[in-house]
Amino acid sequence: MTEVKRITIPYLYELKKKGEPISWLTTYDYPMAVLVEQAGIEMILVGDSASMVVYGNSSTLPITMDTLIGHCQAVRRGAPNAFVIGDMPFLSYQVSVEEAVRNAGRFMKEGNCDAIKLEGGTRIAETVRAIVNAGIPVVGHIGLTPQSSSMLGGFKVQGKDVETAVSLIEDAKALEKAGVFGILLECVPTKISSLIRKSNSTIIFGIGAGDDVDGQLLIIHDVLGLYQCFTPKFVKQYTNLASIIGEAVGKYRSEVKGHQFPLPEHSFTISPAELKKVEEYLAQKK
Protein backbone atom coordinates (compact mmCIF):
# COMPACT_ATOMS: atom_id res chain seq x y z
CA MET A 1 0.00 0.00 0.00
CA THR A 2 1.39 3.42 -1.01
CA GLU A 3 2.16 5.65 1.95
CA VAL A 4 0.25 8.92 1.86
CA LYS A 5 2.55 11.87 2.53
CA ARG A 6 1.44 15.07 4.20
CA ILE A 7 1.02 17.92 1.74
CA THR A 8 3.51 20.77 2.17
CA ILE A 9 4.08 24.20 0.64
CA PRO A 10 7.15 23.00 -1.35
CA TYR A 11 4.98 20.22 -2.80
CA LEU A 12 2.30 22.74 -3.80
CA TYR A 13 4.97 24.81 -5.55
CA GLU A 14 6.12 21.66 -7.35
CA LEU A 15 2.59 21.22 -8.69
CA LYS A 16 2.57 24.85 -9.83
CA LYS A 17 5.92 24.40 -11.57
CA LYS A 18 4.69 21.26 -13.36
CA GLY A 19 1.48 23.01 -14.39
CA GLU A 20 -0.65 20.51 -12.49
CA PRO A 21 -3.74 22.26 -11.08
CA ILE A 22 -4.17 22.06 -7.31
CA SER A 23 -7.54 20.90 -5.93
CA TRP A 24 -8.89 22.75 -2.90
CA LEU A 25 -12.21 22.36 -1.09
CA THR A 26 -13.85 24.15 1.83
CA THR A 27 -14.87 21.58 4.44
CA TYR A 28 -16.03 21.95 8.02
CA ASP A 29 -16.27 18.58 9.79
CA TYR A 30 -14.65 15.20 10.40
CA PRO A 31 -16.77 12.89 8.17
CA MET A 32 -16.49 15.16 5.15
CA ALA A 33 -12.75 15.72 5.72
CA VAL A 34 -12.20 11.95 5.68
CA LEU A 35 -13.90 11.66 2.29
CA VAL A 36 -12.13 14.72 0.86
CA GLU A 37 -8.68 13.38 1.78
CA GLN A 38 -9.53 9.91 0.51
CA ALA A 39 -10.42 11.51 -2.83
CA GLY A 40 -6.90 12.97 -3.06
CA ILE A 41 -7.80 16.65 -2.59
CA GLU A 42 -4.55 18.44 -1.73
CA MET A 43 -5.92 21.36 0.31
CA ILE A 44 -8.82 21.99 2.68
CA LEU A 45 -10.06 25.41 3.76
CA VAL A 46 -11.95 25.56 7.04
CA GLY A 47 -13.84 28.63 5.91
CA ASP A 48 -15.72 31.35 7.73
CA SER A 49 -18.46 30.47 5.24
CA ALA A 50 -19.43 27.92 7.91
CA SER A 51 -21.32 30.87 9.40
CA MET A 52 -23.76 30.60 6.50
CA VAL A 53 -23.48 26.99 5.35
CA VAL A 54 -23.41 25.28 8.76
CA TYR A 55 -25.05 27.78 11.11
CA GLY A 56 -27.61 29.41 8.83
CA ASN A 57 -26.49 33.02 9.21
CA SER A 58 -27.03 35.51 6.39
CA SER A 59 -23.33 36.42 6.21
CA THR A 60 -19.88 35.24 7.27
CA LEU A 61 -19.57 37.93 9.95
CA PRO A 62 -21.05 36.26 13.08
CA ILE A 63 -18.70 33.27 13.32
CA THR A 64 -15.96 33.41 15.96
CA MET A 65 -12.37 32.25 16.34
CA ASP A 66 -13.33 29.63 18.92
CA THR A 67 -15.98 28.14 16.64
CA LEU A 68 -13.67 27.94 13.64
CA ILE A 69 -10.83 26.46 15.67
CA GLY A 70 -13.20 23.68 16.75
CA HIS A 71 -13.99 22.98 13.10
CA CYS A 72 -10.26 22.99 12.26
CA GLN A 73 -9.59 20.38 14.93
CA ALA A 74 -12.33 18.15 13.54
CA VAL A 75 -11.11 18.55 9.96
CA ARG A 76 -7.50 17.79 10.91
CA ARG A 77 -8.58 14.59 12.64
CA GLY A 78 -10.36 13.55 9.45
CA ALA A 79 -7.63 14.69 7.06
CA PRO A 80 -4.22 14.25 8.70
CA ASN A 81 -2.31 14.62 5.43
CA ALA A 82 -4.16 17.36 3.53
CA PHE A 83 -2.90 20.95 3.70
CA VAL A 84 -5.41 22.54 6.08
CA ILE A 85 -5.94 26.31 6.12
CA GLY A 86 -7.79 28.20 8.83
CA ASP A 87 -9.87 31.15 7.67
CA MET A 88 -9.41 34.26 9.84
CA PRO A 89 -12.92 35.47 10.75
CA PHE A 90 -14.15 39.06 10.82
CA LEU A 91 -12.40 41.23 13.44
CA SER A 92 -9.81 38.55 14.23
CA TYR A 93 -7.10 40.49 12.32
CA GLN A 94 -8.48 43.99 11.66
CA VAL A 95 -8.19 45.46 15.17
CA SER A 96 -4.40 45.37 15.53
CA VAL A 97 -1.35 43.65 14.11
CA GLU A 98 -0.57 42.10 17.48
CA GLU A 99 -4.04 40.60 17.80
CA ALA A 100 -3.85 39.32 14.22
CA VAL A 101 -0.59 37.50 14.91
CA ARG A 102 -2.00 36.04 18.13
CA ASN A 103 -5.15 34.77 16.43
CA ALA A 104 -3.22 33.38 13.47
CA GLY A 105 -1.06 31.55 15.99
CA ARG A 106 -4.16 30.05 17.60
CA PHE A 107 -5.13 28.48 14.28
CA MET A 108 -1.69 26.87 14.09
CA LYS A 109 -1.36 25.88 17.75
CA GLU A 110 -4.93 24.95 18.67
CA GLY A 111 -6.44 24.17 15.27
CA ASN A 112 -3.40 22.22 14.01
CA CYS A 113 -3.56 24.10 10.71
CA ASP A 114 -0.80 24.39 8.11
CA ALA A 115 -1.56 28.01 7.22
CA ILE A 116 -4.13 30.78 7.57
CA LYS A 117 -6.13 32.84 5.06
CA LEU A 118 -7.28 36.43 5.41
CA GLU A 119 -9.05 38.92 3.19
CA GLY A 120 -7.61 42.10 1.73
CA GLY A 121 -4.63 43.35 -0.26
CA THR A 122 -2.59 46.52 0.13
CA ARG A 123 -4.50 47.67 3.23
CA ILE A 124 -3.51 44.56 5.22
CA ALA A 125 0.01 44.05 3.86
CA GLU A 126 1.59 45.14 7.14
CA THR A 127 -0.50 42.62 9.05
CA VAL A 128 0.36 39.86 6.60
CA ARG A 129 4.06 40.64 6.90
CA ALA A 130 3.89 40.41 10.70
CA ILE A 131 2.09 37.06 10.58
CA VAL A 132 4.61 35.67 8.08
CA ASN A 133 7.49 36.99 10.22
CA ALA A 134 6.00 35.02 13.11
CA GLY A 135 6.55 31.87 11.06
CA ILE A 136 2.94 31.40 9.96
CA PRO A 137 2.24 30.68 6.26
CA VAL A 138 -0.43 32.94 4.75
CA VAL A 139 -2.81 32.81 1.78
CA GLY A 140 -4.18 36.20 0.75
CA HIS A 141 -7.72 36.66 -0.55
CA ILE A 142 -8.69 39.45 -2.94
CA GLY A 143 -11.47 40.20 -5.41
CA LEU A 144 -14.86 39.56 -3.88
CA THR A 145 -14.11 39.49 -0.16
CA PRO A 146 -17.28 38.42 1.68
CA GLN A 147 -16.34 40.04 5.00
CA SER A 148 -16.38 43.46 3.30
CA SER A 149 -19.09 42.74 0.72
CA SER A 150 -21.20 45.65 1.97
CA MET A 151 -18.39 48.03 0.98
CA LEU A 152 -18.22 46.37 -2.44
CA GLY A 153 -21.93 46.81 -3.06
CA GLY A 154 -22.79 43.16 -2.45
CA PHE A 155 -21.59 39.89 -3.89
CA LYS A 156 -20.37 41.20 -7.24
CA VAL A 157 -17.61 40.37 -9.71
CA GLN A 158 -14.51 42.50 -9.09
CA GLY A 159 -12.05 43.82 -11.69
CA LYS A 160 -14.44 44.50 -14.56
CA ASP A 161 -13.12 48.02 -15.18
CA VAL A 162 -9.67 49.57 -15.41
CA GLU A 163 -9.66 51.07 -11.91
CA THR A 164 -10.68 47.93 -10.03
CA ALA A 165 -8.59 45.62 -12.23
CA VAL A 166 -5.44 47.68 -11.61
CA SER A 167 -6.29 47.76 -7.91
CA LEU A 168 -6.46 43.95 -7.85
CA ILE A 169 -3.09 43.65 -9.60
CA GLU A 170 -1.55 46.06 -7.09
CA ASP A 171 -3.15 44.19 -4.18
CA ALA A 172 -1.69 40.92 -5.43
CA LYS A 173 1.77 42.50 -5.72
CA ALA A 174 1.49 43.94 -2.20
CA LEU A 175 0.58 40.52 -0.82
CA GLU A 176 3.47 38.92 -2.69
CA LYS A 177 5.91 41.44 -1.21
CA ALA A 178 4.42 40.86 2.26
CA GLY A 179 5.35 37.19 2.01
CA VAL A 180 2.20 35.19 1.23
CA PHE A 181 2.78 31.84 -0.47
CA GLY A 182 -0.56 31.96 -2.26
CA ILE A 183 -3.38 34.29 -3.27
CA LEU A 184 -7.05 33.42 -3.72
CA LEU A 185 -8.91 35.39 -6.39
CA GLU A 186 -12.69 35.36 -5.96
CA CYS A 187 -15.14 36.43 -8.68
CA VAL A 188 -12.50 37.94 -10.95
CA PRO A 189 -12.65 37.94 -14.78
CA THR A 190 -10.51 35.20 -16.32
CA LYS A 191 -8.28 37.63 -18.24
CA ILE A 192 -7.50 39.63 -15.09
CA SER A 193 -6.74 36.43 -13.17
CA SER A 194 -4.36 35.47 -15.97
CA LEU A 195 -2.58 38.84 -15.80
CA ILE A 196 -2.18 38.48 -12.03
CA ARG A 197 -0.81 34.97 -12.37
CA LYS A 198 1.74 36.04 -14.98
CA SER A 199 2.96 38.98 -12.89
CA ASN A 200 3.08 37.17 -9.53
CA SER A 201 5.42 34.45 -8.25
CA THR A 202 3.02 33.06 -5.64
CA ILE A 203 0.53 30.24 -6.14
CA ILE A 204 -2.64 31.76 -7.58
CA PHE A 205 -5.91 30.08 -6.64
CA GLY A 206 -9.32 30.84 -8.03
CA ILE A 207 -12.95 30.59 -7.00
CA GLY A 208 -14.96 32.01 -9.84
CA ALA A 209 -11.74 33.30 -11.43
CA GLY A 210 -11.46 31.19 -14.57
CA ASP A 211 -9.09 28.39 -15.50
CA ASP A 212 -5.77 30.25 -15.91
CA VAL A 213 -4.80 29.85 -12.26
CA ASP A 214 -2.73 27.31 -10.31
CA GLY A 215 -5.59 25.80 -8.32
CA GLN A 216 -9.34 25.82 -7.85
CA LEU A 217 -11.45 26.21 -4.70
CA LEU A 218 -15.11 25.37 -4.15
CA ILE A 219 -17.24 24.75 -1.07
CA ILE A 220 -18.00 21.05 -0.57
CA HIS A 221 -21.69 21.77 0.13
CA ASP A 222 -21.97 23.48 -3.26
CA VAL A 223 -20.19 20.64 -5.04
CA LEU A 224 -22.56 18.11 -3.47
CA GLY A 225 -25.74 20.17 -3.82
CA LEU A 226 -26.30 20.41 -0.06
CA TYR A 227 -26.62 24.19 0.31
CA GLN A 228 -29.99 25.21 -1.12
CA CYS A 229 -30.17 28.93 -0.27
CA PHE A 230 -28.37 29.95 -3.48
CA THR A 231 -25.82 28.60 -5.96
CA PRO A 232 -23.20 31.03 -7.34
CA LYS A 233 -22.64 31.09 -11.10
CA PHE A 234 -19.10 29.75 -10.72
CA VAL A 235 -20.22 26.56 -8.95
CA LYS A 236 -20.48 23.23 -10.72
CA GLN A 237 -22.79 20.91 -8.82
CA TYR A 238 -21.45 17.37 -9.24
CA THR A 239 -24.40 15.69 -7.55
CA ASN A 240 -27.57 16.70 -5.71
CA LEU A 241 -27.36 15.15 -2.27
CA ALA A 242 -30.15 17.38 -0.98
CA SER A 243 -32.72 15.51 -3.08
CA ILE A 244 -31.15 12.13 -2.26
CA ILE A 245 -31.16 12.88 1.48
CA GLY A 246 -34.69 14.28 1.30
CA GLU A 247 -35.92 11.13 -0.40
CA ALA A 248 -34.20 8.88 2.15
CA VAL A 249 -35.52 10.84 5.14
CA GLY A 250 -39.01 10.87 3.67
CA LYS A 251 -38.90 7.11 3.18
CA TYR A 252 -37.74 6.66 6.78
CA ARG A 253 -40.67 8.72 8.06
CA SER A 254 -43.11 6.77 5.93
CA GLU A 255 -41.81 3.43 7.21
CA VAL A 256 -41.93 4.58 10.83
CA LYS A 257 -45.52 5.74 10.41
CA GLY A 258 -46.44 2.47 8.66
CA HIS A 259 -44.74 0.21 11.21
CA GLN A 260 -42.34 -0.98 8.50
CA PHE A 261 -39.32 0.07 10.53
CA PRO A 262 -37.79 -1.37 12.58
CA LEU A 263 -38.12 -4.95 11.31
CA PRO A 264 -36.92 -8.02 13.23
CA GLU A 265 -33.48 -7.78 11.58
CA HIS A 266 -33.05 -4.32 13.11
CA SER A 267 -34.01 -5.51 16.62
CA PHE A 268 -32.39 -7.44 19.48
CA THR A 269 -33.67 -10.57 21.24
CA ILE A 270 -33.66 -12.06 24.73
CA SER A 271 -33.84 -15.77 25.45
CA PRO A 272 -37.23 -17.14 26.55
CA ALA A 273 -35.73 -18.27 29.86
CA GLU A 274 -34.37 -14.82 30.68
CA LEU A 275 -37.60 -13.16 29.58
CA LYS A 276 -39.56 -15.45 31.89
CA LYS A 277 -37.37 -14.42 34.84
CA VAL A 278 -38.01 -10.76 34.07
CA GLU A 279 -41.75 -11.35 33.88
CA GLU A 280 -41.68 -13.24 37.20
CA TYR A 281 -39.78 -10.36 38.78
CA LEU A 282 -42.36 -7.86 37.60
CA ALA A 283 -45.18 -10.08 38.83
CA GLN A 284 -43.65 -10.16 42.31
CA LYS A 285 -43.50 -6.36 42.35
CA LYS A 286 -47.25 -6.00 41.85
Name the residues annotated as catalytic. 186
Contacts of 13 (CB under 8 A, 6+ apart): 181, 203
Indicate the SS3 state at residue 218. Answer: strand
3-state secondary structure 135-203: CCCEEEEEECCHHHCCCCCCCCCCCCCHHHHHHHHHHHHHHHHHCCCEEEEECCCHHHHHHHHHCCCCE
> Which of 71, 230, 266 lies closest to 154, judged by CA?
230
Contacts of 128 (CB under 8 A, 6+ apart): 118, 138, 140, 175, 178, 179, 180
Contacts of 78 (CB under 8 A, 6+ apart): 29, 30, 31, 32, 33, 34, 36, 37
